[in-house]
Chains A and B, each alone.
Chain A
Amino acid sequence: MKKKIAIVFSVFLIIFCFFLFYSNKNQNFLLKDTTKNAEKKETKPYTRLVVAIPYSRVEERDLKLVEEEINKICRKELEIEIEIMTSSSYYNQVNLMLAGDEQLDIMVATNEMLMENYMNGYLLPLDSLLENYGKDITEQIGEKIVRACSINQTLYGIPGNRDYAKGSDAYMLRKDILDKYHINPKNIKTHEDLDEVFALVKENEKDMTVLVSGAGTMMEHLYFVDAASASNFGRHMNYGRDEKIVNSFETEEYIEALKMVRNWYLKGYLDTDDLSQTEPLFSRVRNGEIFAYTTKGKPGIVSQDCSATGREMVCVQLGKDVISYNSISFCPWTITANTISPKKSMQLLNLFYSNADIMNLLCYGVEGVHYKKTEDGHITYADEKKGNPFVSNAWKMPNQFITYVWEGNDLTLWEDVKKFNEEAIHCCDLGLNYDISKVYDQYTSLKEIYSRYRVILENGLVNPEEGLRKMLLEMEENGMNSVIQLKQKQYDFWKNNKTESFTHLYK
C-alpha cells in the first residue's frame, strides 16, 4: 500500500512540476513586464531637460549609453534627467525645434547660431542665472572668458574650456620622407624653404601628392582666414592687432597667399581633383598618398596626428600662435527661450562644467565600452578597431580641462592648452561679439559669395587675380563696406567703454 501511495504521489508530483514550469514561465513574463512599468513610473518624477549637442558621427545607440550614465549622476545631484538631442542636420533640426516651440533647454550654438538665435530672440540672458546658479562655471572658465560670449553687454552663452588660439601657417610633414632626403625640419623657416622641400618631394616621389589641406581650403591655416566665422568680413589684420577694420580679401597678405597656393597648384604639388576627393585625409596619409598637409598648431597636435595617421609626423609652424578673432564665442552653450526651467538648466550647466564624470562621458563615452584607462593615467580606445566616435567631438564640450588625457598627449595637456591660450597673440577685439543684426542680409549674401569662390580660389584652381577681382566685385555690390563700417563703429564704442582687458585671459 505504501508503494501505491508513493507511485501516486510521484505521478502527481510530475504533473505538478509541469504546471509549475508553465505558470512560472508566464509569471516571469509578467514580472518582467511589471518591472518595465515600474522603471517607467520611476522616471516620471524627474524633470527632463533636453540638451542639443552637435555630435557628428555618434550613433544613437552609443549616445543612449552615455545619456543613461549621465542621468544616473543627474538624478542624484539635481533630481533631473537629460535627453541628448543630436542630428546630422543639427542646424536645421535645432531651428525647427526653436521655431516650433518644442522643449529645448540647453543648446550648443555653433558658428553663427549664437548671433542668429540672439537676433531671433531664442536665447535667454544668463547674467543673473550664472550669478545665482553657476558659481562653478565662473570658477572653471574664468570670469573674463565667460564675458566673451556677451552681445551688447548681455551674456547669452557660456564658452567651453578649449584651445581658443591657433598656431597659424602650420604644416604637418611626414618625418620618414624628410629623413629620406636628410632635411632637418628645424631649418624650414620661411615659405621659400618649404617650397624647396615640396619641390624635392615632388621631384622624387612621383606618386605622392605633396600637399593637401588639413581642413577646408589650402588657406584655412592662416590667421586671416576662418571659413566658419563672421570675422571674415571686416577683419583686424596684423594678427588681429590693427584697430582699423579692413576687408581682408583686399589685403596684400591675402593676395600673396592666393598666389602662393596657385603657384603650388601649378607646380603640381596639390591635388588636381580636389573637388572630387572622396577619401578622408588621415586614411590618405596612412596609405602613403600624401607628404604634407596644412594644420592648426596647438599643444599635442603632433602626437594626436601621429596616432591618427599611424605615421611619424613633424609640424612646421611658420606663423605665430594667435587668437585672431573672438574665437571664445565660437561654440558656446546657451539656454533657449523654450526651456521649461531656466534655473534647472543653469544648474545642469553648472554640473556639466564642474563634474569630471559627466565631462568624461560627454567627451569620450562610457568607460569600458568606448574608452579604457591605461596604466600611466591616459585613456585610449576600448576597442582599437571600433574606434571612439566621441573623441573628435570632445572640443565642443563645456570643460575638457577636467577630463582625462587621451593617449599620445602629454599628461600636462590641459595646462599646456591654457598656457597656449594665454601666451598667444590676443586680437584687439577679443571679448567683443559684433551685433550684425542690422546688416544681416548683407552678411548672408557675403557668406554665400565667399563660399562659392573660396574653394576654387583658395585651392589655387583658378588664376587668383581674375578670380579675386570677380569675388571682390560681387562682395562690394552686396554691401561689404556697410558691414565693415558697422563693425568699426561697434568696435570703437566697445573699446572706449570696456571695463576689462583681454591681454591676459586667466589672470
Chain B
Amino acid sequence: MNNLTLLKKRLFSIIGGVVILFMVLSVAYSASILKIEKEQEMERYTQTLRVYMQRMEESMDSVENLLITQCTNISDIQKIRKSGKGMDRYLTLFQKEKEFSEEIGKYKFLDGLFLFEKERETYIGVKRDAVKTSEHTAVKKHAMEIISGFEGRENKDSWFFQKIEGFPYLFRVIETKNIYFCAWMKAEYLVNDLVEAEGNEDTLIALGDKKGEIMNCSESVEATIKNQKQIRIHEKKYSIINVFSDKRNLSLHLFQRDRSVFIVFKRLILPLSLIVIMGVTIYLLVILFTKEVFLNPLDKLLFEKERAKNKAELQFLQLQTNPHFLNNCLSLIRNLVFLDRKEEAQEAVISLGKYTRSSLNPHTEITVKGEIKHIETYYQLLKLRFHDRIEMKVTVDSQAEFLKIPTMLIQTFVENSVKHQLSSEDTLRISVHVFIEKEYLIVQIEDNGEGFAETLRSRLKEGKPIVDEDGNIHVGIANIVQRMHILYGENAKILFENKEVHGACVTIFIPILCDVKKLPEKEKEDEK
C-alpha cells in the first residue's frame, strides 16, 4: 500500500509538471501570437490612416481648386462689390448660392462653403445635407471671427483649425478684393467615416494639426502627440499610431487600448482549463488502470522472490513426506519385528523418527553439520534395509561444518543416487565431501553407478524437471537448482559430471557470504 501512495505522489507530480509545462507553453505561444497579431493590426491601422489621410488631402486639394476658381471669376466679384445698384449684386449673390449648393455635394468631407464680404458683412453660404443647421448657423454667426483669424495668420495659404462654439473646424480661406471665399470642414465629420469604420471603445481616433495637437477625438483628449508610442487617457493605457500629412496642416492619430493581458486571459481560459481537466482525468485514469493492469503485475514482480521461496518450501515439504520412502521404512520395521530382530527394529524406529523430525525443519537453510546428520540418519535407515549393498562415506572440513547450505541439498543428491543407481549385485558407494576452497563452500557427491546420461545432464544444467521413462516427474534436482538460484543468484553453481571410471559426480559451489571464523561461536550459541 505504501508503494501505491508513493506511486500516486510521483504520478501526481509528473502529470502536474506536464500540465504546468503545457500551460506555460500555451501562455507563451498565445502571447507571441498576440504580439504578431498586434503588429499586423498596427500595420493595418497605419495603412488605413495613410489612405484616409490621402483621401482628405485629395479632397482638400480639389476644394482649394474650387475656391481659386471662385476667386478668379472677376466679373462676378465686381458685381458683388458694386455698391450702387442692388440688382446685379443680388442676382450674383443668389447665383453664387446656387453655384455653391450645386458644388457642395461634389466634394468629399466638405461641410460648408461661404462667401463673405467684409464691408457689408454679407454672408452667402451653403452646407452639406448631413450637417446640422445649428452648425451652419454657428459658422455664419462667427464668420467675422473666422475671417479675422485668417487675417491674423502668417501663412495664409493653408488650412487652419479654429474653434467655433467649442468645436474645432478646419477652414481654408482665399481672399480677393475684400471678398472671402471660405470652405469649412468640421473636425468631427472629417474623421467620421474613419471612426465609424474603425472606432470602438478601445480604438479612439483623433484628428490633430501638423504639430500633433489633438483637435478632435471621440474621448476628450487634450494633448500634443509627437512621437511617443504610448499615452494615458482616463487612466487607461493606449498605444498610438501617428500619421502626419506632408503638405497639409493635419495629422491623424489612432489610440489603441492596450488589453493584451485581458485578451490572453480571455483566449486561454478555456484551453487552460481544458489542460487542467485533461491532466486530472489522465491522472485519475492512470491511477485506476495501473492499479488494475499495471500495478498488480508489478506487485507480483516485487514479491516474486518471496513467493518463490514459499513455493520452494512447499515443494520441499512435499518432498519430505515422500510416501514411498516412509512406506518402505515402515514395512522394513514390520519385517524386523516379524523376524524378531527387536534391536534392529528399535534402531529403525529411532532413525525414522530422527529422519522425519529433521525433514520437518521449516528453515530454507541449514548448517552443513545438520544436513550431514540428516543424511546419516537416512543412511542408517538404508543400511537396515540394504545392508552391504550400500556404503556411504562422509568427509567434512571442520571449518565448513557451520556454514549454511540449502536444506535437503545433499539429501536430494544422495537420495537420487540411491533411487537410480542401487542394484542388487554391486555395492553402491556414495561419498560426500564438503570442503572450502577460496570463497566457495564446495559440496561434492560421488557414486559408482552408471553416471548421467548425456540428455539428462543438459536438462539438469538448465534446471528443468526430469521426466523418466515411466512418465514420472522428478522435480527434486530441478528444485534444488531453482532454490540455489533464488538463494545465491548467479554465484552458486552445480556441476554434473561423469567420472572417468564408473559413476557420477555432482559438485556444488556455494559462495561463502560471511566471515567463516566468526560463525562457529554464533552457531554454537544458537544450538544451545
Binding site for B on A (CB under 8 A): 4, 7-8, 11, 14-15, 18, 88-89, 273, 275-276, 278-280, 283, 452-453, 455-456, 461-463, 466-467, 470
Contact = CB atoms under 8 A, between A and B. Distances in A.
B167 interface: no
A283 B124 CA distance: 20
Contacts of B277: 14-15, 18
A471 to B, nearest CB: 10
Contact of B86 (A88, A276, A283, A462): A462
B87 A276 contact: no
B110 to A, nearest CB: 15
Task: Count chain B CB atoms within 10 A of each CB in A4, A8, A11, A15 and give the residue with the most.
Answer: A11
14 contacts: A8-B284, A8-B288, A11-B285, A89-B105, A273-B123, A275-B124, A276-B97, A276-B123, A278-B140, A279-B133, A283-B133, A456-B87, A456-B90, A463-B86
Given A275-B93, A275-B94, A466-B87, A11 B280 contact: yes
Interface of B: 86-87, 90-91, 93-95, 97, 105, 122-125, 127, 129, 133-134, 136-137, 140, 274, 277-278, 280-281, 284-285, 288
Contacts of A275: 90, 93-94, 97, 124
Nearest to B121: A273
Contacts of B90: 275, 456, 461-462
Given A276-B123, A276-B125, A279-B133, A470 B87 contact: yes
Task: Count chain B CB atoms within 10 A of each CB in A280, A461, A467 and give the residue with the most.
Answer: A461
Nearest to B116: A276
A455 B123 CA distance: 16
A435 B523 CA distance: 148
Contact of B129 (A88, A283, A463): A88
- Tell me if B's interface is mostly helix, strand, loop or mixed: helix
A467 B94 CA distance: 14
A15 B274 CA distance: 8
Contacts of B87: 456, 462-463, 466-467, 470
A283 B133 CA distance: 10
Contacts, number: 62
Contacts of A455: 94
B274 A18 contact: yes
Contacts of A8: 284-285, 288
Contacts of A273: 122-123
A452 B94 contact: yes
B125 A11 contact: no
A453 B91 contact: yes
A278 B91 contact: no
Contacts of A466: 87
A11 B281 CA distance: 6
A475 to B, nearest CB: 15
Given A11-B284, A15-B281, A453-B91, A461 B86 contact: yes
A89 B102 CA distance: 11
A334 B470 CA distance: 123
- Tell me if A's interface is mostly helix, strand, loop or mixed: helix
A4 B129 CA distance: 75
The 5 closest A-B pairs by CB, nearest first: A456-B90, A278-B136, A276-B123, A278-B137, A11-B281
Nearest to B123: A276
B137 A7 contact: no
A452 B284 contact: no
Contact of B127 (A7, A88, A278): A278
A276 B115 CA distance: 10
A469 to B, nearest CB: 10
A452 B137 contact: no
A278 B125 contact: yes
Contacts of A11: 280-281, 284-285
Given A15-B281, A462-B90, A7 B288 contact: yes
A88 B137 CA distance: 22
Contact of A279 (B137, B274, B280, B285): B137
A463 B89 CA distance: 13
A4 B288 contact: yes
Contacts of B285: 8, 11
Nearest to B129: A88
Contacts of B124: 275-276
A145 B451 CA distance: 144
Nearest to A280: B133
B95 A452 contact: yes
Nearest to B278: A15
A88 B94 CA distance: 22
Contact of A452 (B91, B129, B134): B91
Nearest to A21: B270
A314 B95 CA distance: 36
Contacts of B288: 4, 7-8
Contacts of A461: 86, 90
A470 B280 CA distance: 98
A365 B425 CA distance: 135
B196 to A, nearest CB: 14
A17 to B, nearest CB: 10
A18 to B, nearest CB: 6
A232 B284 CA distance: 96
Nearest to A470: B87
Contacts of A467: 87
B354 to A, nearest CB: 54
A493 to B, nearest CB: 38
B134 to A, nearest CB: 8
A4 B286 CA distance: 12
A467 to B, nearest CB: 6
Given A275-B90, A278-B137, A462-B86, 19 more contacts: A8-B288, A11-B285, A14-B277, A15-B278, A15-B281, A88-B129, A275-B94, A275-B124, A276-B123, A276-B140, A279-B137, A452-B91, A452-B95, A455-B94, A456-B87, A456-B90, A456-B91, A463-B86, A466-B87
A462 B87 CA distance: 6
A280 B280 CA distance: 72
Task: Count chain A CB atoms within 10 A of each CB in B87, B122, B127, B140 and give the residue with the most.
Answer: B87
Contacts of B105: 89
Contacts of B137: 278-279
B468 to A, nearest CB: 49
Contacts of B133: 278-280, 283
